[in-house]
Structure 1
Amino acid sequence: MVKIPFCEFCVKTRVLCQKCQSLIDSGRYQWLDVEVSDALLKVEKKINLTDVEYVKSYEVDDMVIILMRNTKRIPRSAFIQLEKELTSLLRRSVKVVEYGGINEVIAQLVSPAKLLTISTSWLPDGTTETVVKIPSREVRRLPIKPERLQAIISRISGTNVKVELVRERGS
């Protein structure tokens, strides 16, 4: 069974117990996470999600980005079906991302566009900034606009992120 942070009963009835309500009140999760958990429980009847763990969801424009662990075990065809089923249930475009290191998450969010580099800059005030460089010719292949991509990566990583479109030499 897919691992979700909420009680199955709370998700299905939309009436949260004290434990589940405290997850929302603390700001760790939002109502979107309850909706996505419910959709995952429904999809699980068609697709085997054993050992798959739900992490968190983010909404960007009309797209929901769902972070999960252990999705690499799902066969490619089932993974595509998972995204289609969730898109249908949530009535918004869905992108499921394997939650690993932040660089892995960035690469999946940028896909199918190519990624040049991901680097970290240390700023004089002691903070860091992650710089994601994408070839400018790849911008049309990005699933999310560069400025929205920057905002979503910042929210997921909890760090300052800058997405740069780079013109490559000879093009």
Structure 2
Amino acid sequence: MLEYPICEICLKTGILCSGCEEKLAKGEITRLEVELATILYRLEKKHKTLSEINRVKTLEENDLVVLITEEGKAGVLIGKGGKIAKIISKKLKRKIRVVEDTKDYRRIAQDLLAPARVIGVNIVYPPNESSKFKVLVAKQDITKLPASITTLERLLAKLLGKEVVVAPI
């Protein structure tokens, strides 16, 4: 069953109680997480497979929202034919990408940058700097990226924990 960042009463009513309002004010949860929780709560009634997911974290950058779920559960959150993902995207009024919480850097990059093809993920060691990732994308697929390169670099940096450069090859 999905673990929500707000209480069930708030999920049912759509109005935050004082406890959940306090979490939001302290920055423990974001407005986006509250929105997503209410959407998923309503969807879980129609799409029983969503109960297989335990937790969904979010990242946002400009008009792109990344939903991070546990390994092996991305398909459940996307839904058959992308149905659930399309509903979430429509209700949030933003593009979404679903990424699994994994240590496989290439897979994270592929999930985020799809439908563009990721050729490789390299670790670069520039002099006098800490290491960073260089994500190589097929040159002809640059136009297929779901957002600007800068936005994607920032999101990948948050996901991978290091500076990231997205480069066409």
When the two structures are superposed, what TM-score results if normalisation uses the length of structure 2?
Answer: 0.80
Aligned in 2, Cα 1:111/1:6: closer, same or farther, shift over 3 Å? Answer: same
Cα distance, 1:165 vs structure 2: 1.2
Aligned in 2, Cα 1:77/1:41: closer, same or farther, shift over 3 Å? Answer: closer
Cα distance, 1:99 vs structure 2: 2.2
- Residue in 2 aligned with 1:10? 10
RMSD (Å) for aligned C-alpha atoms: 2.7
Deviates more, 1:47-56 or 1:14-23: 14-23
Cα distance, 1:151 vs structure 2: 1.2
Deviations 1:30-51 (A, max 9, x none): 2111111111111112212122
- Residue in 2 aligned with 1:147? 150
Are the counterparts in 1 of residues 59 and 67 from structure 2 also a CA contact under 8 Å? Answer: yes
Cα distance, 1:17 vs structure 2: 5.1
Segments of structure 1 that go 5 or more residues without pairing to the other structure are 167-171
1:109 to 103, 108, 112: 112
- Residue in 2 aligned with 1:98? 100
Segments of structure 2 that go 5 or more residues without pairing to the other structure are none
- Return the alpha-carbon distance in structure 2 between the equivalents of residues 113 and 55 of structure 1: 24
- Residue in 2 aligned with 1:58? 59
- Residue in 2 aligned with 1:169? none
Which SS does the other structure have where 2:135 is aligned? strand
When the two structures are superposed, what TM-score results if normalisation uses the length of structure 1?
Answer: 0.80
Q: Which amino acid aligns with 2:130?
A: T
Q: Which amino acid aligns with 1:54?
A: R
Which SS does the other structure have where 2:55 is aligned? strand
Aligned in 2, Cα 1:79/1:8: closer, same or farther, shift over 3 Å? Answer: farther
Aligned in 2, Cα 1:77/1:15: closer, same or farther, shift over 3 Å? Answer: closer
The structure carrying a bigger helix percent of its residues is 2
Are the counterparts in 2 of residues 133 and 165 from structure 1 also a CA contact under 8 Å? Answer: yes
- Return the alpha-carbon distance in structure 2 between the equivalents of residues 140 and 73 of structure 1: 25
- Residue in 1 aligned with 2:40? 40
Aligned residues: 165
Q: Percent of counterpart pairs with the same letter?
A: 23
Aligned in 2, Cα 1:86/1:159: closer, same or farther, shift over 3 Å? Answer: same
Q: Which amino acid aligns with 1:84?
A: K
2:68 pairs with 1:67: yes
Which SS does the other structure have where 1:68 is aligned? strand
